[in-house]
A and B are shown apart, each in its own frame.
Chain A
Amino acid sequence: MSNNSKEDWLYTISPKHKLINFNFKEIWKYKDLLFLFVKRDVITLYKQTILGPLWYLIQPLFTSIIFTLIFNKLADIPPGDGIHPFLFNLSGITAWNYFKECLVGTSDTFKKNENIFGKVYFPRVIMPMSVIVSNLLKFGIQLLVFVGFYLFFSFFTDKSNNAIPKISLIAFPILVLYMGLLGLGLGMIISSMTTKYRDLSFLVQFGVQLLMYGSAVMYPLSYFKEKLPNYYWLIEWNPIAIIIETFREMTLGIGSLDVSKLIYVTIISIVVFLIGLVIFNKTEKSFIDTI
């Protein structure tokens, strides 16, 4: 009898923890919370702005215009045969933005939610996951814009005749998944580390900027290799550069699709995500004491 009652505890709060103590059942129970956080992020982001959700579109469009002016017109980077440079830049920026927003949005999870985390318990990972999902909506809208311009350039101009989607486009959701995993994983690592040492939050601010230049957003990988072969190793194994290059290959039909590199990206994404999860898990138990 006493043996029996020892075992039927619902759960135990204790200082020991497993490396990954991920309670999927619990997370599933809190799925409504995830959607409510997404809803909150979406409906409150542009409250009391005049242009509202139009901001979703303005930012990538203007960035693309500037990039086209600077990198293609001024610096003469060729976007590839028969592709309009604006379309080239828009595709890179659309993909890059999703990763960036995921990374930046999750990298201050603990600091930003200190108040709410300090008072109630829910699976903490809901918070960064909700960021990924709400960014997915944003990404979807930006993708629609990209498709709109894509159709415009293909049918109404003769500057993008070579822009033909490849059959590999069906693997597009997987690419998005990788971006989400990488952004979430890195974001969770950074947010966990910053609870104790704030240095990393400064790194994120300009690190993301630097990373963009190393991620083939405004140039094709092949062009980099041709011009700066000695430095190619710097970006050759950057998973984001590979993802963006693949994204362009799928949608615009330019660039290279290297299966071995994609396998590498798969492994990296999963590893980064798992490391993030482990560190996040370790931190969530006691971060409130150190933040």
Chain B
Amino acid sequence: MNNDVILKAENISKQYRLGTIGTGTISHDLNRWWNKIRGKEDPFLKIGERNDRSAKGKSDYVWALKDINFEVRRGEVLGIIGKNGAGKSTLLKILSRVTGPTTGNIKTRGRIASLLEVGTGFHPEMTGRENIFLNGAILGMTKAEVSLKLNEIVSFSGCERYIDTPVKRYSSGMKVRLAFAVAAHLEPDILVVDEVLAVGDAEFQKKAIGKMQDISQGEGRTVLFVSHDMNAISKLTKRAVVLANGSVSYQGPTDKAITEYLNEFKTKKAIVEWESIEDAPGNEYAKLKSASIVDENNKLKSKFNITDDIYINVEYWDLNLDYNNTAIIHLINEMGQTLFASNEFVAPNWLDFHSQTKSIIKSKCKIPGNLLAEGVFSILVAVGNYNPEIIHLIKKDLLSFEIYDHTSGEGVRGPYVGKWPGMMRPMLHWEIEKKDIIE
């Protein structure tokens, strides 16, 4: 069944040179050329480092991708996920032939069209209709193909009224709708999609995801789908590739790939502290001192049983004498959805602590046991004040913890051991009434 493989990437690598292009470039170019005419290997291919954005490297050359291998079957929707800078876009650029790989090759049995960024080649002076034709042709459609689908495209975009108006008069949302509409009606064998769903309003996003689902399922098209939106990835794909620092770190079923990807993200942190007020995040009104997760005995912890109470401590320098500061936390799940937000100001004696003297405030929030589902959660910490609404500091992904279920019947799931649905798992109050049936 070898023929089922529609696309095959073999040892794809891509090297980039860091820094600016200057005199160094010309000497390296000459060196390269000198080696080439003598039939030798490019000397700069031997050097280069793994692409780790945060670590300072020694070499000027870096491998944005290193030895990527994967296969895509006909009709399959493959997700590609990875952190910023993991090499997703580079891989897509190579797939869509925008740039060539440094080594390795990609073999394909079908035409690849990419949706790298919608609206490519839109000309502001031309009307929507003219742009549909131009954009369609850029994406590889013939004029006849576009004419055939024109009505469909226009009605999908929802821009009928403006179709003969120059695109420069469109709102940015309308441009995106129109562009996506054109791209969604492409009929390549393999469609490469990158983050297009991050645009448009909620209604259009829903429409776009629906269209993507149609394309991949109904029409049996092969799709490579790159996104940060784990929701969309898990909805649309069954298999995914996780990229980390330019190489494939996991390849397999989507749900496992997502967990893998998220684990990579979340080095579980129970405490974050700043030694001095100078280094601490914030402004002249508030500076964050520390944030931590503890259990009921005030012990730092990052793993909790599902029935345990969890306490979040936020400690900050309160330097605001004008308004009443409040600590804010958001609880975010693996999918990146905020489950809830809570504010210090719900404390009944909140006003007693603020706007009087500069001080260090330590506030503690209790998340009761039997509320959250199993999984890894991340916490966003912010300090601000309402009325006027000013955020003095905001730190995403500051802390994280894991909840597991080791109960033997006392949790929400009771003795049931199968998969339990739902993003939350609150212990709710049930009441039972009984009436005997008298026969």
Contacts and interface: CB of A to CB of B under 8 A. Distances in A.
Interface string A256-291: 000000000000000000000000000001101110
A141 B2 CA distance: 57
A122 B142 contact: no
* Residue from A10, A13, A36 having most chain B Cβ neighbours under 10 A: A13
B137 A30 contact: yes
A121 B102 contact: no
Contacts of A121: 96-98, 112, 114
Interface stretch (A39-47, A97-105, A150-158): A39-47
B105 A14 contact: yes
B107 interface: yes
Given A1-B2, A119-B114, A47 B134 contact: no
* Residue from B3, B25, B109, B138 having most chain A Cβ neighbours under 10 A: B138
B201 interface: no
Interface in A1-45: 1-2, 5, 8-15, 17, 29-30, 32-33, 35-37, 39-40, 43-44
A120 interface: yes
A26 to B, nearest CB: 10
A249 to B, nearest CB: 41
A12 to B, nearest CB: 5
B114 A120 contact: yes
A117 B98 contact: yes
B109 A120 contact: no
B105 A120 contact: no
Interface in A34-80: 35-37, 39-40, 43-44, 47-48
B101 interface: yes
B404 interface: no
Interface in B111-126: 111-114, 116-117, 120-121, 123, 125-126
Contacts of A112: none
Given A12-B106, A15-B103, A121-B97, A33 B138 contact: yes
A225 interface: no
Nearest to B131: A40
A43 B137 CA distance: 17
Contacts of B143: 32, 35-36
A9 B109 contact: yes
Interface string B89-106: 000011111111111111
Contacts of A10: 108-111
Contacts of B110: 10
A15 B130 CA distance: 36
Nearest to B120: A119
Given A2-B2, A13-B105, A121-B114, A44 B99 contact: no
Interface string B240-258: 0000000000000000000
A9 to B, nearest CB: 4
Nearest to A289: B99
Contacts of A12: 105-108
B99 A288 contact: yes
B105 A116 contact: no
B163 to A, nearest CB: 16
Contacts of A166: none
A286 B99 contact: yes
A250 to B, nearest CB: 37
B385 to A, nearest CB: 43
B102 A15 contact: yes
Contact of B97 (A13, A29, A116, A196): A13
B117 A119 contact: yes
Contacts of A118: 93, 98
Nearest to A195: B21
Given A1-B2, A9-B109, A120-B116, A286 B100 contact: yes
Given A13-B94, A32-B137, A44-B126, 16 more contacts: A2-B2, A5-B2, A11-B107, A12-B105, A12-B106, A15-B101, A17-B100, A33-B137, A35-B143, A120-B120, A120-B121, A122-B140, A196-B29, A197-B26, A285-B100, A288-B98
Query: Which 5 residue pairs across A and B have the least CB separation, nearest first?
Result: A14-B105, A121-B97, A33-B137, A285-B100, A13-B106
